[in-house]
Structure 1
């Protein structure tokens, strides 16, 4: 059943992205041809300020609790983020983690191409330089190449979120993952899908060549109670009560350089995720209390202060 909470949440995001794309982001589009670096600097900060809205709604209005363990992030660090894809909304929930490190303005996300056509949301994502993919490597390789080279050319720090699994975890996708495991003599996973490593290795190699990569962050996300699998669950008011993030940071010099070794490295991370999530859901031994004391309200205030700064620069 549709919930007023879900309607309020999605309507607030839609209206904010719709009018923000037209009146806040649209006027700066010509600057993209005059000074790509300044254009990126300005719009990224505008987008980052808007991204605090869903974070605030989830935690301060709907009471979601965020628990972060592991290594965390170094602010301003250039990285590739790999994460298990438990629900269709994981990429949005990750903002609750990244905000605590004032990291939102650097984040770019690989998403399916159909999302860029959504009014409001899709427009803002395109201006933010999110990478839209067809999930067919023959079609995606050239686009990846152009986007990654763009960030390397303008020397803009990049934090790129990719989902090596390619899709979210459902009964159907798990069955396909099991078929893949049987054909290739691999272990069958229950809490993750076997990763596709082609895109991951290409991204890491390209950013290395462009000297635009400091680390790889391996994030395991888990939802101990209700799991909002799709947008429909959000519309029905099925917000997560808790979102757990376990972060592992790997400096780029500690990551293999050859393509074959990098593929094995990625597969190894997914073996660890499967075991970590098994313990989390079956034994409740994964996550301990987070030592981070920064409140989301403080982070919101810090990021929101960027708005006057942007306006002052432009005046």
Structure 2
């Protein structure tokens, strides 16, 4: 995740703001195609998180929700503003996910084989030109999307016609056959089972493999303690070479 430049946060805005700003400036500066996945609600829906969401709604004079958690829009508005100013935002995709059967809540459910039989996605694209300009309006826009999610999921789970469309007409793209999906699952299970078995065999039989694993553990531990992560080292190197290039241009 560090190598892929994931954005790590502490869930405390006064600590996360500066780090997030540096990461977004870096993304805008290198001009690489960016896909940033954000969960404004912050966590999954459980009895405990719903109680906290209801308390948040009561404190802010907002309606209680049953199928979604209230979004914490500070990070969302900040990200949109930074990427838009850096000319690195094409669109916001609003994605709603529903599970008509088996809703796994923890890894325990997956270990027990309680996988969702179906997963339904509702995706709507909002071009950057259609987004509000101010942070306050953008926050209201985000809350409006969550109100739509609540209504959409209520219809979905209350026995309305299958699909997310409010007019009752489901537009389902061509799906993979059950045989193909089964083969993909079997291949994935075989690969990861073999990979894990190979790692244990390597640690047991090959001294060079044990040395490599030990070396990587020490390397990542040291750089984490000294620099805070590979993504921070990458940003520091970028800033260093950027300054060097600017100095050469000024000479």
Decide: shared fold, TM above 0.5: yes
**In the alignment, what sits opposite 1:121?**
none
**In the alignment, what sits opposite 1:109?**
none
**In the alignment, what sits opposite 2:86?**
210
Structure 2 length as normaliser, TM-score?
A: 0.66
List runs of 5+ in structure 1 lacking aligned partners: 1-124, 301-315
Mapped to 2, the partners of 1:210 and 1:163 lie a distance apart of: 22
Q: How far 1:291 moved relative to its partner?
A: 2.5
Mapped to 1, the partners of 2:97 and 2:22 lie a distance apart of: 30
Structure 1 length as normaliser, TM-score?
A: 0.53
Residues 210 and 265 (structure 1), Cα distance of their counterparts in 2 relative to 1, 3 Å cut? same
Runs of 4+ deviating beyond 4 Å = 292-298
Q: How far 1:188 moved relative to its partner?
A: 0.5
Q: 1:134-162, CA deviations, whole angstroms, 9 ceiling, x for partnerless residues?
A: 11111111111111111111111111110
**In the alignment, what sits opposite 2:46?**
170
**In the alignment, what sits opposite 1:190?**
66
Q: How far 1:292 moved relative to its partner?
A: 4.2
**In the alignment, what sits opposite 1:291?**
173
Write the mapping of 1:238-277 to structure 2, written as runs, cut at 5 A: 238-277=114-153
Write the mapping of 1:26-65 to structure 2, written as runs, cut at 5 A: none
Give the count of matched residue pairs: 175
Mapped to 1, the partners of 2:67 and 2:24 lie a distance apart of: 31
Mapped to 2, the partners of 1:193 and 1:239 lie a distance apart of: 23
**In the alignment, what sits opposite 2:102?**
226
Aligned-residue RMSD, C-alpha:
2.0
Mapped to 2, the partners of 1:149 and 1:184 lie a distance apart of: 32
Mapped to 2, the partners of 1:160 and 1:250 lie a distance apart of: 15
- 2:49 is paired with a residue of what secondary structure? helix
**In the alignment, what sits opposite 1:161?**
37
Mapped to 1, the partners of 2:100 and 2:142 lie a distance apart of: 25
Mapped to 2, the partners of 1:292 and 1:260 lie a distance apart of: 40
Structure number with the higher strand fraction is 1
